[in-house]
Amino acid sequence: MRVALINSFFPPWRGGAETYAFNLARALAERGHEVTVQCGSDPLPAGRCYEYGFQIVRHRILTRVYGTPVMPGLVKELARVKSDILHGNFPSPYIAFMVAATSRNRKIPAVLTWHNDLPPVTSGARFLIEMHDRAVLPRYITTYRRVISTSGYYAERSRILSSLGNLVRVVPNGVNCDRFNPLNDGSKVREKLLLRSRFTIIFVAALTKWHRYKGLDVLLHAVRNLPEELNCVLMIVGEGELKSHYDELSHYLGIDRRVIFVGDVGDAELPQYYSASNLSILPSKDSSEGFGLTLLEANATGIPVIASRVGGIPSVVKDGYNGILVPPNDPQALSKAILTLITDPKKARKMGRNGRKFAKTRDWKKTAAETEAVYEEALA
């Protein structure tokens, strides 16, 4: 099967949808499909290459609207692409609309992965979202033969997905349990960052305004509530224009000595950063969080997680089994959960072992096979 996978960006750009696109493309190629990825060029130059068993076409970005890259070259490429199935990715209305238009005009079946609803990062953005959902979305969404949700929990609660009825299929994200596993050596990272015997919490996300919903500010306030004698440290992995803002906030809260900004970390090194940690936290603020892929990566590494009970997270974290769920936007509840795992290492280790068991049930090969089944439905 010839598959065209279209996304706003692609690794080394860091993000959940980008990790999804990369791993799905690779797993589909391993299953014998001819895969082409279409994406924006940043942070690499525009051009074509063949890597990991599939073709990558990176398009020059003309401008960005609501964080979404506008790529004139993508329009030309879709007009001539030779594919049996088109696979778009949301939350990019531009990508979703262009793929739907191509499907309609060229009679190529299309599916869409709905990673999450559009995040209302500003009041202006909230207005644009309302306009999109009410006026634009109905014009293209029914062109798709199937819409994939990465979480059944999210599919039931998303205002958009819940309205699409039988069009929706649930295919959970996967994780590479060979790359992320408890046997990885995090000692070099601990030595490099002078972590020594400190209890280390890891937070992984882009530090951009489009990822404010990840709740790093909530986590910083929760760290302030922790007694200093606990000797814990928060390790923040990620880059973005808000990094200086979060750095200033940590100084304002008086916790700068307990916070380490390590910047962006390459995919090859990321597993070692998880292995250097005792706990992973994702305190997302609202339903913009469709899955929480970093939680699965942490569990695969064998460490417990703490996350907000929002979006699709409850489909990844079973409270008390592989982690702890807390109310969103509640630093007090979050700090209490952190204290629970710091002061009860036996419970933390058990949750980490359970997390590893759960992660092993969600491999990208399984995700690819289930996605392939959705393609077959769309083609039929």
Confidence at residue 24, expressed as pLDDT on a 0 to 100 scale: 97
Q: Could you tell me the pLDDT band of residue 228, with boundaries at 50, 70 and 90? A: confident
**Fold of the 2-174+363-379 domain:** Rossmann fold (3.40.50)
Q: Among the listed ranges 58-67, 205-214, 273-282, which one has the minimum average pLDDT value? A: 58-67
pLDDT confidence bin for 123, thresholds 50/70/90: low
The whole-number pLDDT of residue 352 equals 98
Residue 340 — pLDDT band, cuts 50, 70, 90?
very high
Rg of the chain, C-alpha, whole Å: 20
For residue 89, give the 3-state DSSP assignment.
strand
Write the CB contacts of 122 (distance below 8 Å, at least 6 apart in sequence): 209
Band (pLDDT 50/70/90 cuts) for residue 226 is very high
Per-domain boundaries in the chain = 2-174+363-379, 187-359
Q: What is the pLDDT of residues 233-288, one digit of tens each?
A: 999 999 999 999 999 999 999 999 999 999 999 889 999 999 999 999 999 998 88
Give ∠ CA 310-181-306 in degrees, rounded to 5.
Answer: 25
pLDDT cut 90: percent of the chain above it: 85
Task: Tell me how far CA of residue 127 lies from CA of 23, 139, 373, in angstroms.
Answer: 34, 18, 37
Whether the per-residue pLDDT at 122 is higher than 80: the answer is no
pLDDT of residue 127: 80
Q: Which of 164, 165, 74, 92 is closest to 129 using CA atoms?
A: 92
Name the DSSP letter for residue 213. G
Average pLDDT over residues 368-375: 98
Which are the contacts of 295, defined by CB distance < 8 A and separation ≥ 6?
280, 282, 305, 307, 313, 316, 317, 323
Query: Which pLDDT value is given to residue 380?
Result: 92
**Cα separation, 39 vs 222, whole angstroms:** 37
- CATH no., domain 187-359: 3.40.50.2000
Please determine whether the domains at 2-174+363-379 and 187-359 fall in the same fold group of CATH. yes
Tokens 């299309």 identify what position?
110
Backbone angles phi, psi at 52, to 5 degrees: 60, 20
Give me 269's structure tokens. 């090194």
